[in-house]
A and B are shown apart, each in its own frame.
Chain A
Amino acid sequence: MTISIRRPRLTKQQRRALIVGLLFISPAIIGFFVFNIGPIVQSLQYSFTRYNILQPPRWVGLNNYKFLIESDRVFRIGISNTLYMVLIGLPIHLVFNMLMALLLNTRIKGLSLYRSIFYIPSITPVVASTIVWLWIFNGQFGILNEFLKFIGLPPIGWLTDPKWVKPSLIFMGAWFGGNTILIYLASLQDVPYDLLESAELDGANAIQKTFRITLPMISPVIFYTIIVNVIGYFQYFTEAWVMTATRDGSAGGVANSAMFHSMYLYQTAFQQFKMGYASAQAWILFMIVLIATVFLFKTAGWVYYHAED
């Protein structure tokens, strides 16, 4: 008999566990292929075609990409507005949320009341709250301009002046950030107190304690919120859409100053039915998000992981 080299085989028991395990996760496997991998591949294919639903897709090679990058001004504005949100709006929001969490973590009385107040805007329907913000920002009758008038300042076109739209959206966005405040607060409450106390005995002041102990201790949570929100802000849609949509279905504000990538994609795909062209837009964003995520993971040296316990 010859000696055959065998792959390490699964025992009977392991094989059974494998079958049962795969059965249990089968919804995930189906979902993964049907709702993720399949559509990703299809979207790449569509991005090389011209496809208006009525006629079958027609191969156009790299034309969609070429046109998007070279000549589509609105697309470029959409990308740069989206980057504005990710690079300026998001850091402002996260720093603000962290400050709020640190403030709430000073063992003040009535914490659960404040917690509720800051959290409620992030669970109520975005459209419902945005409708009141539309009224607050209203140039003629809004309370914000009324306040400016009261203190002797000229009114601002919060949603009509291209200079102000994005800052206004960021201002409003801070109001929706309660979820992150509470995530930070929960992790702050887990920072061991004796660690802070011994630092204090060594003469550390509040700022040193915050930057040397508290923030490093919760850095995994900070990293998590950055990743999740970067991906979320790249998809920024509802707030801007509701704030700027007009009667004829167009949106994006004066001179497209509030046109974001997902809004332009929506218009291209679902109002003009240019599915191939919109898929190319999606793939350009996908590449940008991928680069951003890889960059964030590569530069994650500042994240401090506790020893496994």
Chain B
Amino acid sequence: MTASIHWRENRIVQDRIKKSIAYTIVIIMAVAYIFPLYWLIVTALKTDLEIFQQPPPIFPPNPQWQNFGESTTYIPFWRYMWNTIVISGLTVLGTVLSCTFIAYGFARIRWPGRNIIFLIYLSTIMLPSQVTLIPLYLIFRDLGWVGTFLPLVVPHFFGNALYVFLLRQFLLTIPLELSDAAKIDGASELGILWYIMIPLMRPALAVVALFTFVQTYRDFLGPLIYLQNQQDWTISLGLKLFQNMYGAQWQLMMAASTLAMLPTIVLFFFTQKTFVRGIALTGLKG
């Protein structure tokens, strides 16, 4: 008996040591992850002389809060923000709309061949974008769309295989009897989708909307290729190209970068649960 008590005590001590090691590493890593963001804000608050001071002050000696205001005129910040929001908003609309219909068609209507066609469709996820980049550019060029938002937005109205997969998985968990009962009552497929499925799908649709928004908001290559007029640029494109053109007013670039990050960070804090649920869903099976 004493031996077993001994063993348990040992166990508790061991657990505690393990825990404190885990804590120490997690906290060190957390500090390391925060540091670049901290450095971004600190640099944004410095004067143009303090930027080049050596060694660099770890706290801003006299915080230049007006840098944030100045940065929004140094680059046409609000203009670029508006462009980014418009492109992201339309992209979300197109993705959510099209993926809802497509996923419903694959998951809730029993037509012959649907599984094999779904697999073929899903394989497009594995296509590297370089392959279609040039022909798509030439098509949009022939349509006269280069230099407008259309090439960035319109393709999203034709579905996204990953999100169709996610919504289909979700729809498959809803018992088919629910649809059958509605059909007996004379509901059409569209009626079932609108009145029964969409209310049930809301959590999954929120995931698709959020992920699509963040992805579009962060995009750089698309706008780089298609947006040619300076007043049409997105915030990412504007930040980079301004830095190239006018050399670095580092503290203002940092202030503008901080402001550009804010929307997604705020969004994350308000919708954290949806994000976490979405991440669990995307990792679900292969």
Chain A residues with a Cβ under 8 A of chain B: 10, 14, 17-18, 20-25, 27-28, 30-32, 34-36, 38-40, 42-43, 46, 53, 100, 103-104, 106, 108, 112, 114-121, 123-129, 131-133, 135-136, 141, 143, 146, 149-150, 175, 178-179, 182-184, 186-187, 206, 220-221, 223-225, 227-228, 231, 234-235, 237-238, 241-242, 245-247, 249, 261-262, 265-266, 269-270, 275, 278-279, 281-283, 285-286, 289, 293, 303
One digit per residue, 1 when the CB lies within 8 angstroms of any chain A CB and 0 when it does not, for chain B 110-137 equals 1111100100110011111111111111
Q: Is the CB of A182 within 8 A of B244?
A: no
Q: Is the CB of A261 within 8 A of B130?
A: yes
Count contacts on B: residues with CB < 8 A to the other chain. Answer: 97
Chain B residues with a Cβ under 8 A of chain A: 18-19, 22-23, 25-26, 29-30, 33-34, 36-37, 39-40, 43, 51-52, 54-56, 98, 101-102, 104-106, 109-114, 117, 120-121, 124-139, 141, 155, 157-159, 161, 164, 189, 214, 217-218, 220-221, 224-225, 235-237, 239-240, 243-245, 247, 250, 253-254, 256-258, 260-261, 264-265, 268-269, 272, 275-276, 279-280, 282-286
Q: Which of B128, B129, B139 counts the most chain A CB atoms within 10 A?
A: B128
Which A residues are in CB contact (< 8 Å) with B19?
106, 108
Q: Which of A27, A121, A126, A261 counts the most chain B CB atoms within 10 A?
A: A27
Complex-state Cα separation, A247 to B245, whole angstroms:
6
Q: Is the CB of A17 within 8 A of B110?
A: yes
Chain B residue nearest to A234 (CB atoms) is B128
- A51 to B: closest C-beta gap in Å: 9
Knowing A42-B135, A43-B132 are in contact, say whether A125-B268 is a contact too (CB < 8 A): no
23 A-B pairs with CB atoms under 8 Å apart are A20-B105, A31-B159, A39-B135, A40-B132, A100-B29, A104-B26, A115-B276, A117-B30, A117-B33, A121-B36, A123-B214, A123-B218, A123-B264, A125-B220, A127-B237, A127-B240, A131-B243, A141-B51, A183-B282, A220-B286, A238-B221, A242-B240, A247-B247
Complex-state Cα separation, A283 to B132, whole angstroms:
10
Complex-state Cα separation, A249 to B243, whole angstroms:
12
- A289 to B: closest C-beta gap in Å: 5
- A14 to B: closest C-beta gap in Å: 6
Chain A residue nearest to B273 (CB atoms) is A112
Those 7 A-B pairs whose CB atoms lie nearest each other, nearest first: A24-B105, A31-B158, A21-B111, A183-B283, A39-B135, A224-B286, A186-B280
Q: Is the CB of B131 within 8 A of A135?
A: no
Q: Is the CB of A36 within 8 A of B127?
A: yes
Chain A residue nearest to B138 (CB atoms) is A275
Knowing A14-B111, A31-B159, A128-B261 are in contact, say whether A116-B33 is a contact too (CB < 8 A): no
Which A residues are in CB contact (< 8 Å) with B117?
25
Q: Is the CB of A269 within 8 A of B33?
A: no
Q: Is the CB of B285 within 8 A of A224?
A: yes
Which B residues are in CB contact (< 8 Å) with A282?
128, 130-131, 133-134
Chain A residue nearest to B118 (CB atoms) is A25
Q: Is the CB of A124 within 8 A of B265?
A: yes
Complex-state Cα separation, A39 to B214, whole angstroms:
26
Which B residues are in CB contact (< 8 Å) with A261?
130
